[in-house]
Amino acid sequence: MTGASAGFGRAICERFLRDGYRVIAAARRMEPLLELQSRHGEALLPVSLDVRDEQSIAAMKESLPVHWRDIDVLVNNAGLALGTEKAQEAVLQDWRTMIDTNVTGLALVTHAFLPGMVARKRGLIVNIGSVAGKYPYPGGNVYGATKAFVAQFSRNLRADLAGTGVRVTDVQPGLCGDTEFSLTRYRGDRQKADAVYAGAHPLVPEDIAETVAWVASLPPRVNVNAVEVMPTSQSFTALTITRD
Ligand code: NDP
Ligand code: 8X3
């Protein structure tokens, strides 16, 4: 479970633990992972991981005790959005960080754990995409594009994994509160972050945990290719036209 220190990741960990799984909880910040472990004991293994860094992934994999090495479910959840500026005003480093984390990081972690799943002829990869990967919005530029990568990478993985028994699902959440997502996106501006959810009755992380748990609970013959989940309050708008 990548990105286990907050938001969806923490909720998915808690949900899997409740369902009887043993969970490897990975993130850069160890404190929230140790707090999780203090509540769940030996069923949770906290590990330090920066998904952008190949060495960090290799070191994490090496550090796993033997009886934790055969991963049944990999949840590629670590990710972030930075900024909502229009592309022409965006900060280049923000684009790099989103691509390094949401695209490169997700691909690196998958590359590290996929061969083991194929050798065991079983496994499930759940990639956390976003509705932003399908529906464009102003200021979504690189963030949405990274999630479009997640959608197509998930489908292409399915094509490569045909006949291996390994399953792949792209979970695409819409607006979800009670995470650090908007606080990160607005660089710590709590007021702006809270305004995103004001009066909107957004999803909560447990809704996404429920979705991931459902996907993982299905029999091996069932592959859910993609699940798009929005709050009822979120919907579509018309294409816009600029006029003279
Ligand atoms: P949070 O900010 O609450 O959690 C993000 C998690 O990602 C943290 O645990 C963070 O841990 C981890 N993370 C970030 N960068 C790295 C890194 N380089 N290496 C390892 N871990 C990292 O956000 P959410 O829970 O909301 O988001 C989780 C995923 O869901 C993301 O991929 C996001 O794009 C996606 N999403 C979120 C939506 C929302 O509305 N909240 C909607 C749709 C999709 P740490 O900082 O400790 O490393
Ligand atoms: C996060 C959902 O709509 O804020 O991926 O881009 S949204």
- Does residue 79 lie in a domain region? yes
pLDDT at 152: 99
- The CATH number of whichever domain residue 167 belongs to comes to 3.40.50.720
- Does residue 42 lie in a domain region? yes
pLDDT at 202: 98
- Does residue 239 lie in a domain region? no
- Does residue 38 lie in a domain region? yes
Active site residues: 143
pLDDT at 199: 98
What are the pocket residues of ligand 2 if the criterion is a CB atom closer than 6 Å to any ligand atom? Answer: 130-132, 140, 174-175
What are the pocket residues of ligand 1 if the criterion is a CB atom closer than 6 Å to any ligand atom? Answer: 2-9, 27-29, 49-52, 77-80, 101, 105, 128, 130, 173, 175-176, 179-181, 184
pLDDT at 220: 98
pLDDT at 97: 99
Q: Which amino acid is at 133?
A: G
- Does residue 222 lie in a domain region? yes
Rg of the chain in Å (alpha carbons): 18
Please give the Cα distance from 154 to 142 (Å, whole number). Answer: 18
- Does residue 60 lie in a domain region? yes
Low-confidence ranges of the chain (pLDDT < 70): none
- Does residue 97 lie in a domain region? yes
Number of structural domains in the chain: 1
Q: Is the ipTM beyond the 0.95 threshold?
A: yes
- Does residue 243 lie in a domain region? no
pLDDT at 125: 99
Q: Tell me, what DSSP letter sits at residue 238?
A: P
Among residues 173, 172, 226, the alpha carbon closest in space to that of 202 is found at 173
SS3 49: coil
Ligand closest to the CA atom of residue 132: 2
Residue 200: burial class (beta carbons within 10 Å; 0-12, 13-18, 19+)? middle
Atom of ligand 2 nearest to the CA of 140: 6
| pTM (two decimals) | 0.98
Contact 153/127 with Cβ under 8 angstroms? yes
Residue numbers of the domain that contains 81: 7-229
Please give the Cα distance from 160 to 138 (Å, whole number). Answer: 34
